[in-house]
Each structure stands twice: as structure tokens, then as C-alpha cells.
């Protein structure tokens, strides 16, 4: 019997994906070479990268004018990259503090400028999503975290934003429909919804870049990776391949709309038992439950 891991990450991958990935480690594309032995610039892997990017665009209906990147460093690296690419010298940005990951993102932003915290749920151990705040139009960008695995909270709606909007969707990307055009940057570590740790998905609106007036280190500049199709340095071949397989599985299942219904049914079942059974006590505010 297969054992189950109920941790927030790494995610549980479909059996079909695991079988394909394990076979590719031994013999990829019947070439008698392991996937992790082939050149990342070879035609077979370029095809993998191209397909992964195409699937992201298709499943999320990414508009024209956005680049899809597979980077490294996890969401934790994006905490700094976002600020470095969007915050002007001596600039400021607005954040909501909804959990451990948002707090870390705020810390990184404060290392480059000023992070203004508009909503903060730390007063109740992050068991709710702050609401009712107004995003100033004079900040360089607004940053939010869509889902908080540690606390079981999720943003059900996103606020009106008069400036650039950035969202860390690491733990709920591809789990529900999202209108990408509302955001200027979306980023997500692969390990919670796409594949194994090691790859980071970034969806960035091209026209917003290169306007900070600051010198950005080469590896931390989104334009570096856009110009090299996510291959400025050696990409994480295996995590990208498994992510591609998972996205293909999701497409074959029926896409984000179908998986959203499945996820809602699972959530209803779980929360129904938590609310019914006196042995359990829910901690997240009901209206903000993941």
C-alpha cells in the first residue's frame, strides 16, 4: 500500500507522472541516455522546456506580453528578485503580512527600500486574511501571498491595485482559476503544486522591467533570463521535466477548471468533518479557509 505525505510540500505527484519520470531517469526518449545526463541545450531538452512553457500559458491563459520563466532559488529568491527588479532606488512597496512567507518577503524588500505593511494578521497568528486596506498609488508595487499553507488561509479575492501587483502563488497555482492579466508578476516554487523542488515558475509582464534606475546583478535580473529563454545558466532539468509531465497530466484531466472542482470537493469534505466533529477545532477564519 502506498504511504501518504500530508505535508504542505513537497506535493504528491500523480502515479503516471512518477512512472514516466522514473523511466526517463534511466532512458530518456529511447536514446539510451538518462534525462539527467543529456545537455540542457540539446534539442530533446529544449523541446521539454518549450512544452512546459506552452502548457503554463495554455492552462493559465497567459496573455501576450508576458514571459514565462523557469528559474532556481525557490520563492525565497523571488522575495529579493521582485524587489530588485521593481523597487526604485530609495523606493517603497506595499505588502500584506499574512504568514511566514510574506514576512520573509517583507524582510527582503526592506533590505532595498521601504516595505509598507498595509494589512497584518500576525495579531491572531495569521488565522485570517486582512481586508479593507487601500493600496497607495505612489508605491512601486504591491505584493501579496495568495495562500498560506502553515495557517490554512487563502485570498478569495484580490484587491483593486493602482500600481504593479505581484503575487506569490507557490501553494495554490494551478489549483484554481486566476486572471493573470490582473498581475504584473506571479511566482511559485514548483514543489507544492507542479513537481519536485529545484525549479521556480515566474510569469512576468515584459513592459514593467528595466525601470528601477538601479544596477541589478546579472543572475537577479529577469531580463537576463528572458533573453536566454531561462537558460542563461544550467536549468534544473529534472524538476522542469517533471513539472512539464504534471502540467500535461492536468491538461489531460481537463485543466484548471476541473481540478478546482476536485479541490473544492476535498476541502468541503475535510472542513465538514472538522466542523462536525468535537475532536477537532479549526483555526483559520471560515471565510478565509484554503
How far from each other are the two terminal CA atoms of the chain, in whole angstroms? 29
Burial class (CB in 10 A: 0-12, 13-18, 19+), 136: middle
Q: What DSSP element (H or E) covers 69? A: strand 66-71
Q: Which is the catalytic residue, given 140, 192, 205, 221?
A: 192
Q: Which is the catalytic residue, given 140, 168, 172, 184?
A: 168
Q: Is 131 a catalytic residue?
A: no
Pick from 98, 94, 134: which is nearest to 115 by CA? 94
DSSP per position, 189-211:
EGGGTTSSTT-EEEEEEGGGSS-
Q: Is the dihedral of CA 197, 177, 124, 265 positive or negative?
A: negative
**Beta bridge pairs of residue 154:** 147
* Buried b / exposed e along 78-108 (16+ C-beta atoms within 10 A): bbbbbbbbbbeeebbbbbbbbbebbbbbbeb
DSSP class of residue 14 equals P
Give CA–CA dist 146/186, Å, rounded. 10
Q: Is 221 a catalytic residue?
A: no
Q: Is 101 a catalytic residue?
A: yes
* Number of C-beta neighbours around residue 53 at 10 A: 21
Give CA–CA dist 163/89, Å, rounded. 17
Which residues are known catalytic residues?
101, 168, 192
Amino acid at each position: 500500500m502506498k504511504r501518504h505525505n500530508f505535508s504542505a510540500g513537497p506535493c504528491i505527484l500523480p502515479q503516471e507522472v512518477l512512472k514516466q519520470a522514473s523511466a526517463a531517469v534511466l532512458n530518456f526518449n529511447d536514446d539510451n541516455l538518462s534525462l539527467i545526463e543529456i545537455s540542457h541545450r540539446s534539442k530533446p531538452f529544449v523541446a521539454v522546456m518549450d512544452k512546459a512553457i506552452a502548457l503554463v500559458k495554455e492552462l493559465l491563459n497567459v496573455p501576450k506580453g508576458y514571459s514565462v520563466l523557469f528559474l532556481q532559488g525557490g520563492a525565497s529568491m523571488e522575495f529579493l528578485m521582485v524587489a530588485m527588479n521593481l523597487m526604485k532606488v530609495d523606493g517603497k512597496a506595499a505588502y500584506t503580512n499574512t504568514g511566514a512567507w510574506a514576512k520573509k518577503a517583507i524582510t527582503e524588500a526592506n533590505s532595498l527600500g521601504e516595505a509598507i505593511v498595509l494589512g497584518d494578521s500576525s495579531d491572531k497568528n495569521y488565522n485570517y486574511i486582512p481586508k479593507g486596506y487601500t493600496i497607495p498609488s505612489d508605491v512601486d508595487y504591491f505584493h501579496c501571498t495568495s495562500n498560506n499553507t502553515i495557517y490554512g488561509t487563502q485570498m478569495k479575492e484580490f484587491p483593486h491595485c493602482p500600481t504593479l501587483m505581484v503575487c506569490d502563488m507557490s501553494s495554490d497555482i494551478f489549483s484554481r482559476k486566476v486572471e493573470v492579466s490582473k498581475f504584473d508578476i506571479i511566482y511559485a516554487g514548483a514543489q507544492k503544486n507542479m513537481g519536485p523542488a529545484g525549479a521556480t515558475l515566474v510569469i512576468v509582464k515584459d513592459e514593467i522591467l528595466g525601470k528601477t534606475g538601479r544596477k541589478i546583478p546579472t543572475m537577479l535580473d529577469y531580463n537576463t533570463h528572458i533573453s536566454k529563454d531561462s537558460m542563461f545558466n544550467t536549468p534544473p532539468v529534472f524538476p522542469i521535466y517533471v513539472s512539464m509531465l504534471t502540467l500535461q497530466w492536468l491538461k489531460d484531466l481537463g485543466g484548471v477548471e476541473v481540478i478546482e472542482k476536485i479541490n473544492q470537493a476535498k476541502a468541503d469534505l475535510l472542513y465538514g468533518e472538522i466542523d462536525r466533529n468535537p475532536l477537532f477545532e479549526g483555526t483559520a477564519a471560515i471565510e478565509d479557509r484554503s
